[in-house]
Chains A and B, each alone.
Chain A
Amino acid sequence: DTGVSQNPRHKITKRGQNVTFRCDPISEHNRLYWYRQTLGQGPEFLTYFQNEAQLEKSRLLSDRFSAERPKGSFSTLEIQRTEQGDSAMYLCASSSTWTGNTGELFFGEGSRLTVL
């Protein structure tokens, strides 16, 4: 297994454009988390999935943000009408709650968004 994979690694876009990030978790990991991190800060929770179900979405997330995990495997995070304040590193993590697994978190390398 190659671990958690995120792409693109870096996205530069103009304000007002839509962007989409993809996360491929470790196979058979049923939990998938999206976080946002800005410079000097710890990761900030955005949303998470148990299989294909989105269990919680942060109140910090405006309606411009949407996430999906249609088949319980990969997930996408879309930001519509991007604003400069959306510039951040978007991190994905996965874990498994199946019996015999530790529940340890595995993180992707992140997708860095720069909104001009």
Chain B
Amino acid sequence: KNEVEQSPQNLTAQEGEFITINCSYSVGISALHWLQQHPGGGIVSLFMLSSGKKKHGRLIATINIQEKHSSLHITASHPRDSAVYICAVENRDDKIIFGKGTRLHILP
């Protein structure tokens, strides 16, 4: 079993829909990162959080440390949000472990 599991693996939605991507992990962590990777592009950091909730524009990230679970939400989704979203956790030894990513496709 992977230490970081994301669901769903693939998600196709219509423009305007509310999107939720989930991340569960099995190790103790000091922080969790949400990253975005466009096709053929580099990886961009969206959020780094260790508790609670963060919001940036239409993106919201939450984390529940007790349940070892985090969610990334996108409100009013747009085709330009189409990308791979990656959850990564920073364990107690400062090693960063990545999930396999969720491929999101927003249809116009």
Contact = CB atoms under 8 A, between A and B. Distances in A.
Interface string A16-48: 000000000000000101010000011111001
How many residues of A sit at the interface, in one of the four size bands? Answer: 20 to 34
B93 A105 contact: no
A110 B41 CA distance: 9
Interface residues of B, number: 21
B13 interface: no
Interface of A: 31, 33, 35, 41-45, 48, 50, 55-56, 91, 93, 97, 102-110
Contacts of A44: 98
- Consensus secondary structure, chain B interface: strand
- Consensus secondary structure, chain A interface: strand
Contacts of B44: 107
A103 B42 CA distance: 18
B86 interface: yes
A32 B67 CA distance: 30
